[in-house]
A and B are shown apart, each in its own frame.
Chain A
């Protein structure tokens, strides 16, 4: 599947590092999302963007900073993360509320 792509696929970073995750969708969708998926936990919504405007920040710590320069690209900037932030970070897009989401392959993040 190439509809929603994410880079990098794997990332190991120290707690003092700064890194960014990138997501790109080629489906012409208007909404993009960041989710966190930890082992044995449900999908946790982090951020929602509609037409490049952030419409949801689900009480996410400020060490996670999203950026949506256009409706096709979404970034998640990371800085001074904690080991408990280690998880799979999934990007998704959808046409609107009444259409299914298409997920990217995820970035497996390990914070050491």
Chain B
């Protein structure tokens, strides 16, 4: 089955700096890669996703890049703000796994004002 690894587990950045979170996956058939943000005491929320036919996707201050050859994808947050502080999860899925999503272990991001 798929194995998704996520690094780092914790990340602290100064407000205004950039944050990068990386994930690797093992199943070359995986073709959909969403990212979720979970604030303390709240539900995970989808913030951005990328499909395997695209190498990069941006949405304002967040972007995701995908390297299919190396089987890794990354979340980039620019001009970080205190409200970006949360736990971020990456995930991967493929048509071979019947709608099952495989999650990374999460990255706790703290943005220091």
Contacts and interface: CB of A to CB of B under 8 A. Distances in A.
Do A and B come from the same complex? yes
Interface residues of A, number: 25
A94 B91 CA distance: 14
A106 interface: yes
A2 interface: no
B93 A98 contact: yes
Given A97-B32, A103-B45, A55 B99 contact: yes
B113 interface: no
A11 to B, nearest CB: 16
Interface stretch (A13-21, A40-48, A61-69, A71-79): A40-48
A102 to B, nearest CB: 7
Interface in A22-38: 30-31, 33
Interface of A: 1, 30-31, 33, 41-43, 45, 48, 50, 55-56, 90, 94, 96-106
Interface of B: 31-32, 34, 36, 42-46, 49, 51, 89, 91, 93-95, 97-106
12 contacts: A31-B99, A43-B103, A45-B102, A45-B103, A50-B99, A55-B100, A90-B44, A98-B31, A98-B32, A100-B49, A101-B46, A104-B43
